[in-house]
Amino acid sequence: MVESPVAGQRVKVEVNSHNGLTVIQGVALHPAAKNHVTLKLVNGYNASYPIEEIESIEILGSNTPLSEQKPLPVDVDETLPRIRILHTGGTIASKVDYSTGAVVARFEPEELIATIPELTAIANIEAVKLGNMFSDDIRPQHWNSIIHASKRAFDDGCDGVVVTHGTDTLHISSAALSFAWCGKGETPPGRIAFVGSQRSSDRGSSDASENLISAVYWAAHGPQPLGDSGDGVVVVMHASNNDGVCAVYPGTGVRKLHSSRRDAFQTVNCEPLAMIAVENGECSHILEPGYEQNQEKGSERPICQRPTSYETGVRIAQFVAGPWFHSEEIEAIVQTGVQAIVIQGTGLGHLPIDDPGKDAPENTKVWRALTRCINREIPIIVTNQCIHGPVDMNVYSKGRKQMEMGILGHGSVAAPDTVVVKVHWALSNMMKVQDAVAANLCGEGINLLRT
């Protein structure tokens, strides 16, 4: 029986497979199972074989641990735009250390370019580590860190900013920065692009490289943002499950709609802003017709010199309307001192507040609890749990009753998460919630409604 190689060694292995004797080469990883040899193949995939099926193992050499690798210096081309990458976490700026089997964040410019050399032809890359966390752990204080870091980048003369971010809450953070830079009728000094990856960089099917190349390209060579078209902050991700094209989505009009597909991000009640074609590391882009028309019209918004931020102490409760929605939940959450309540309503934005058959007293209690909240000046905002389509409380008497109560949200087409961020921004910046919900602050409003 052969001896297992040490993790990190480059090896050539002869294996007795169903097709006869097969010779493969790769880098040894920690075994995926007992009495197995696991290799990282050159195509990015892993392969595991029982030791008893292996005829021979030839050691070809050893990989240098990432911690000991010294990247080559980066040549600076002064004619290229200057882009700063803000790393918050996720797998997009990571690579596998085969000597340990661990995924390690590599966010220094030299390391990024060593991994994706195509970036050198697009922009001069700088990089700053803000954190290395799962995106589901990100909170408003982290939004503020990204806001301040993006302002520093523009103050230092950068032409654009790319934020690498885990995908689970990427669309929430992009909305947060959109309101921070554009909520008061302004536009950023340059382009800001959020980007992530659905597949880790050690997988053959990874989308990390194309996504990052496209995001850097947009930040460097995209049009100047208008600020009122959802373009103040954008999200750049795969446009389909295939390689070759990435989409540029409005930062306030996109949502992660699939847990694992590479095209998990899709627009909500709006269209993409542009498509970026990536071929052999070279990029080109085409603006979508509606956004191209907006660019031709231009914008009178001034450049934002001081983006707003978020109060970390703001508390917003969220509920989903349905058979399990009870008044006791509302009353309990009010006791915690919430400053607003956002409810994902059914259909056109309806809530269970009627009891026409006199057999559902729970609904009457919900109506009374919500009325008490409004009397206490706690804003109640309805969004659409259907995700797509507007909140329209004019269609049915139920909706008109809700508006008479003082419930907000009529006419909104923004995704539920964007609405919550918008309410948080309003509460943080001395703006009346009812005014913010009714306004189109940075492209999240009705002008992006699909026909």
Give the active site residues: 91, 167-168, 256
CB-neighbour burial class of residue 217 (10 A; exposed 0-12, middle 13-18, buried 19+): buried
Q: For the chain, give the number of residues.
A: 451
- Whole-angstrom CA distances from 26 to 9, 95, 102, 222, 435 are 8, 16, 17, 40, 60
CA 412 to chain centroid, in Å, comes to 22
